[in-house]
Structure 1
Amino acid sequence: MFQIGDKKIAQSEPAYIIAEIGVNHNGDMELAKKSIAKAAEIGADAVKFQTFNSKKLVSKYAAKAKYQTQNTSSEESQLDMLKKLELSYDDHIVLKNYCEQLGIEFLSTPFDTDSAKFLNDIGVHAFKIGSGDLTNIPLLEEISTYKRPVLLSTGMANLTEVEEALEALKGTETAILHCTSNYPTPVEDVNLRVMNTMEQAFGKIVGYSDHTLGYEVTVAAVTLGAKVIEKHFTLDRDLPGPDHKASMNPEEFAELVQAIRNVEESLGDGIKRCMPSEEDTKSVARKSLVAIADLKPGDVLTEENLTVKRPGTGIPPKYFSLLIGKTVKNEVKEDNVLTWNDVL
């Protein structure tokens, strides 16, 4: 059974919704806390941060991604950018405690072994592995020793690489998140059906880490079976930083949560039946056998004195041929429906 804290993640359960704060706190603890509080208020199951040591994460010569260059100073290196977005271990403990106070799950993505060990030591209920570390087998093998649930993002990967990552995580409850690592992701590169491919290939819970704009694709993922949803979250898309522009603000995220819950409720149980709200329409819209002329006891029903009309409160039309030749027991006025009590 896959479970994070007290929340079960299964086909029979609602999708687990993660507000990816990531580095959208901009290194400001007050902004981080306000983001957590707002995410809890609008119905997210968890918030997720990123745990890293900038110098261990990137070389001083590492270039920025295109989207990072577009959203931050082009003169600033990736290392310098990340230094400003780094949270201390003590900061993480404060934020985790704050999440516990508000009743929302604290999650974080470790980018190195020391960060993973730290998160394990403070008792996170699950690990999120970012797409960039799907091929970082030493890190995956380290995390597998903790025997905590893992959410594995699969952006940029092929199926063989996903299989290799799962092998490194052997013995760990793992959910696989489909992802396209572009910020924002163009819809033509989403390829949501990959979720079904991975579910069939690996027999794991599947989810979707979404970087598209809007929430149509996210909701579509839920209809295709995503049981974990992750979406970048910011208090204000106009704030400086690499990820704000491709994130949802609180109003949009609230709409997303409600849309997912509405869609889940609409999916139902798969049993085809007349639903309670249809009952009134059923009696009005369906049809019954109706007398064309006045009928009296002893008359014989024929195609000349019987027809099909609304409402659907009498004998259903499928019995038309069965009633031909039957004898009328009670008086039935023209244009009235027949009931079984009217026929011998």
Structure 2
Amino acid sequence: MSQTLAHIAGRPIGPGQPPYVVAEMSGNHNGDIQRALDLITAAAEAGADAVKIQTYTADTITLDHDGPGFRIQGGLWDGRRLHELYAEAHTPWDWHAPLFEQARRVGVTLFSSPFDFTAVDLLEDLGAPAYKIASFELVDLPLIRRCAATGRPLVMSTGMASEVEIAEAVEAARGAGAKDLIVLHCTSAYPAPMSSMNLATLADMAKRFGVMTGLSDHTLGTAASVAAVALGAVFIEKHFTLSRAAGGVDSAFSLEPAELADLVRSCRGAWEALGHIAYGPGEAEAGSASMRRSLYVSAPVRKGEAFSAANVRSVRPGQGLPPKHLDAVVGQRATRDIPFGEPLDWSMVEGGAPA
């Protein structure tokens, strides 16, 4: 099963469309609603298609417990208790309505990753135009079914997921009614090393699961996203902050506004450069074709004189015979006097063009 295009808030996404670029706010609001509002404005000004938030509370995503597994070991958040980290990073639910209003005001789409059924209920009440399943929730098939049952477009990240787990998630989504489905390749490391990206997976994923594919990119910089677009990704998601220096749970691997604008330009430029299969001179090359090499008289030739390497050369510009005819011309005789610098054509050659 395959699909042609998805639509989020009326914007078509898929083959033949510019890549859909999403700025992921995550916890980069740093607990300040004004900063969250400013992030939405900055993302719109940078040209992003959408801003994504996350809808959970510490209590809906984990337990307030300090037993085995409830404290992070290694990486960016080493030593943090899960409940403490999520309490800091979450987007308060009473912020959601003003965030959606701000997005409408500045002309950018806003949608969210819900982490439980109550989050879906809240987002439904607010008219969220799409849902995103985070990589860590891809194994939560009941949550996938709940999101898919809304009939809204569904985007799913696949960090850490096996082929079987991805197949189960896609089947759950489609079985519950998902039609506009996009699956994102992802490496769930923060930041993710370039060597871990394995972007060659994109084409295989599209073929294997019959879905449109994109990239949830946790690398530093924009190169992986641009490469993904060149490999057929139709959707790019990248974490976004106003300033890495200001700190925040995700700021270390997030783009600043000028970098997000560069990401948008570069991804759309990569998509535009893909074009279509084409051979021969294109419209943009029209002015260059006249500067190709061709055969010119490089020394005066008298009528009846033989052409030779001494009086015919392959040079620029391209107004004479193509250079491939040099061997056919050499040894033949001139039909008239030809001055230096004249482009050669078959009317000047006894016998004319070879049969």
| TM-score, normalization by structure 2 | 0.87
- Alpha-carbon distance in structure 1 between the residues aligned to 2:248 and 2:254: 11
- Alpha-carbon distance in structure 2 between the residues aligned to 1:4 and 1:67: 34
Matched, 1:69 2:91: no
Contact residue 134 and residue 157 of structure 2 kept, 8 A:
yes
More displaced 10-residue stretch of structure 1: 102-111 or 168-177: 168-177
More displaced 10-residue stretch of structure 1: 332-341 or 102-111: 332-341
- Alpha-carbon distance in structure 2 between the residues aligned to 1:206 and 1:308: 49
* CA positional deviation for 1:78: 1.9
Contact residue 89 and residue 249 of structure 2 kept, 8 A:
no
Q: Find 1:105's aligned residue among 94, 105, 109.
A: 109
Contact residue 43 and residue 257 of structure 1 kept, 8 A:
yes
* CA positional deviation for 1:175: 0.6
* CA positional deviation for 1:80: 2.5
Structure 1 pair 65/246, CA: closer, same or farther in 2 (3 Å)?
farther
Q: Aligned residue for 1:235?
A: 242
- Alpha-carbon distance in structure 2 between the residues aligned to 1:157 and 1:22: 21
Q: Find 2:169's aligned residue among 158, 165, 188.
A: 165
Q: Aligned residue for 1:182?
A: 189
Contact residue 18 and residue 230 of structure 1 kept, 8 A:
yes
- Name the amino acid aligned to 1:64: I
- Name the amino acid aligned to 1:241: G
Q: Give the secondary-structure state (helix, strand or coil) at the position aligned to 2:243.
A: coil
More displaced 10-residue stretch of structure 1: 235-244 or 18-27: 235-244
Cα displacement string for residues 105-145 of structure 1 (whole angstroms, at most 9, x for unaligned residues): 00110001111122123221111110011010111111121
* CA positional deviation for 1:324: 5.9
Matched, 1:254 2:261: yes
- Alpha-carbon distance in structure 2 between the residues aligned to 1:97 and 1:311: 61
- Alpha-carbon distance in structure 2 between the residues aligned to 1:69 and 1:235: 20
Q: Aligned residue for 1:290?
A: 296
- 1:27-66 alignment, distance < 5 Å: 27-61=31-65, 62-64=70-72, 66=74
Q: Give the secondary-structure state (helix, strand or coil) at the position aligned to 1:92.
A: helix
Q: Aligned residue for 2:339?
A: 333
- 1:219-234 alignment, distance < 5 Å: 219-234=226-241
More displaced 10-residue stretch of structure 1: 250-259 or 204-213: 250-259
Q: Find 2:82's aligned residue among 75, 78, 85.
A: 78
* CA positional deviation for 1:53: 2.6
Q: Give the secondary-structure state (helix, strand or coil) at the position aligned to 2:279.
A: coil
More displaced 10-residue stretch of structure 1: 273-282 or 329-338: 273-282
- Alpha-carbon distance in structure 2 between the residues aligned to 1:18 and 1:99: 13
Matched, 1:21 2:25: yes
- Name the amino acid aligned to 1:66: G
* CA positional deviation for 1:215: 1.3
- Alpha-carbon distance in structure 2 between the residues aligned to 1:103 and 1:164: 36
- Give the fraction of aligned pairs with identical amino acids, expressed as a percent: 36
- Alpha-carbon distance in structure 1 between the residues aligned to 2:245 and 2:309: 74
Unaligned runs of 5+ in 2: none
- Alpha-carbon distance in structure 2 between the residues aligned to 1:313 and 1:296: 21
- Alpha-carbon distance in structure 1 between the residues aligned to 2:281 and 2:275: 13
- Alpha-carbon distance in structure 1 between the residues aligned to 2:149 and 2:316: 68
Contact residue 67 and residue 242 of structure 1 kept, 8 A:
no
Q: How many residues align?
A: 339
Cα displacement string for residues 187-215 of structure 1 (whole angstroms, at most 9, x for unaligned residues): 22111111111012012111000001111
* CA positional deviation for 1:21: 0.4
Cα displacement string for residues 246-271 of structure 1 (whole angstroms, at most 9, x for unaligned residues): 11111222222222223223323231
Q: CA RMSD in A?
A: 2.3
* CA positional deviation for 1:65: 5.6
Q: Give the secondary-structure state (helix, strand or coil) at the position aligned to 2:241.
A: coil
* CA positional deviation for 1:89: 3.2
Q: Aligned residue for 1:268?
A: 275
Matched, 1:91 2:92: no
Q: Aligned residue for 1:4?
A: 8
Q: Aligned residue for 1:313?
A: 319
- Alpha-carbon distance in structure 1 between the residues aligned to 2:125 and 2:54: 16
- Alpha-carbon distance in structure 1 between the residues aligned to 2:131 and 2:333: 75
- Name the amino acid aligned to 1:67: G
- Alpha-carbon distance in structure 2 between the residues aligned to 1:261 and 1:144: 29
Q: Aligned residue for 2:221?
A: 214
- Alpha-carbon distance in structure 1 between the residues aligned to 2:214 and 2:62: 28
